[in-house]
Structure 1
């Protein structure tokens, strides 16, 4: 294979390089149109690939003087993780609105959303615009959690109320995404997103319960002690009982298990 030289990434659009004496560009439909490439000869084929859920990239000879010319069409298909659909259903049962934010073309994004049952799609979003999408969702819905694992996701992970990054020892998940997020899932399993939210809600519920009981013990004990109606022995026992009950209630979290898919 010929060696590509002068390789450069064009953010959110594609990659350009020189192969031999030919300047080439491989990238998105948006970028090709910006460059003035005539896509008509392969547009019907591209539309068919997109209907099947594939992401389309175009290869063009950019030319230093002449107009860019189309060379080829490449179609890439995403393999959905086995637990992805169940994870989306679990999030929806938790009362959450699910939104797919992607740089892919609308056809491919809609196909993935349909297969997974995702509520809403925002397609052809440039990396720099993902954070703006998160800000818009926050103004519409309040709190927003963002799940991602790539460099392009880092600004959106930082902008969300809760950023959830995925780490995968076998590949997937970038350091910058994990540093930008507040939570890192140690496996690239979408089901862990719903599990993380569920255990967070259970933990918050336990904290509120413990605060309530601690307040009740003091609300009852302090007035009795102030009027001399509570002996030091009973006061000490009540304080110990308060600590034991709070600790015991917190330990009930050990009984929590991830919800099985229904």
Structure 2
């Protein structure tokens, strides 16, 4: 409006500031080059957003909000959900640059988004997570798609990945344990001192047991259950809805 020479009254500026404090975006309406009104619009927060941010903090995961909205609206929403770090009025390429900046700080970055503007950042992130109800471009750019469009699944994805890497570490321990202990014995290290020689059939059985232990350890992931905190969160949402 200012760029095309339309004067913004003080009252309108105050209303715009107030809408931003209420986490809304104010749109100035002009007729015949005079400001006639302001339309306030807002996107409702996803259910459980604040609780999900709180659970992420308990998992030692830092949440950062990068948005194209104005600073007033962005700060209001961040305070409502409990996010400390906010970057507002960011263009798509700036979102991707912020992701790369965090990666340069030796951080592992997961980007959650649902719009076209989020696509560059989803591609740049170590793990791109798209909301299932988002745009097709965002879904194509992401590594993980939350089919139920539920933010709780972000926590499930992180928890499951940690459990998977734990199993991988355990598999290395089992495999290295068998190899470090059994291979020297099979090679005859103990023979000069104890006259003990590992029979070939026992060596073969040990190698088979190593493979079986790795497979069984991996198959335990079939018993994975999402964190109990999420079940408690779901119950609180149901009670709130009933009220």
TM-score by length of 1: 0.78
CA 1:237–1:75 in structure 2 vs 1: closer, same or farther (change >3 Å)? same
CA distance in 2, matches of 1:33, 1:160: 37
Shift of 1:254: 2.6
CA distance in 2, matches of 1:206, 1:83: 30
CA distance in 2, matches of 1:257, 1:54: 38
1:143-182 correspondence runs (5 A): 143-167=108-132, 172-182=133-143
1:47 corresponds to 2:12: no
Shift of 1:151: 0.5
* Residues 206-260 of structure 1: CA deviation (Å, up to 9, x unaligned): 1011012111111112111222721122112212221221122112223322221
The residue aligned with 1:38 is: 7
Which of 151, 171, 195 does residue 210 from structure 1 map onto?
171
CA 1:182–1:88 in structure 2 vs 1: closer, same or farther (change >3 Å)? same
The residue aligned with 2:210 is: 242
Structure 1 runs not aligned, ≥5 long: 1-31
CA 1:35–1:125 in structure 2 vs 1: closer, same or farther (change >3 Å)? farther
Runs of 4+ with deviation above 4 angstroms: 33-36
* Residues 100-133 of structure 1: CA deviation (Å, up to 9, x unaligned): 1111122211121111111211111123321122
Aligned-residue CA RMSD in angstroms?
2.1
Shift of 1:80: 1.3
Which of 45, 58, 61 does residue 93 from structure 1 map onto?
58
Which of 29, 36, 43 does residue 59 from structure 1 map onto?
29
Q: Is the 8 A contact 1:102 1:122 kept in 2?
A: yes
1:198 corresponds to 2:159: yes
CA 1:155–1:42 in structure 2 vs 1: closer, same or farther (change >3 Å)? same
1:65-76 correspondence runs (5 A): 69-76=34-41
Aligned residues: 222
Q: Is the 8 A contact 1:97 1:119 kept in 2?
A: no
CA distance in 1, matches of 2:103, 2:65: 15
Which has the larger share of strand?
A: 1
CA distance in 1, matches of 2:146, 2:200: 48
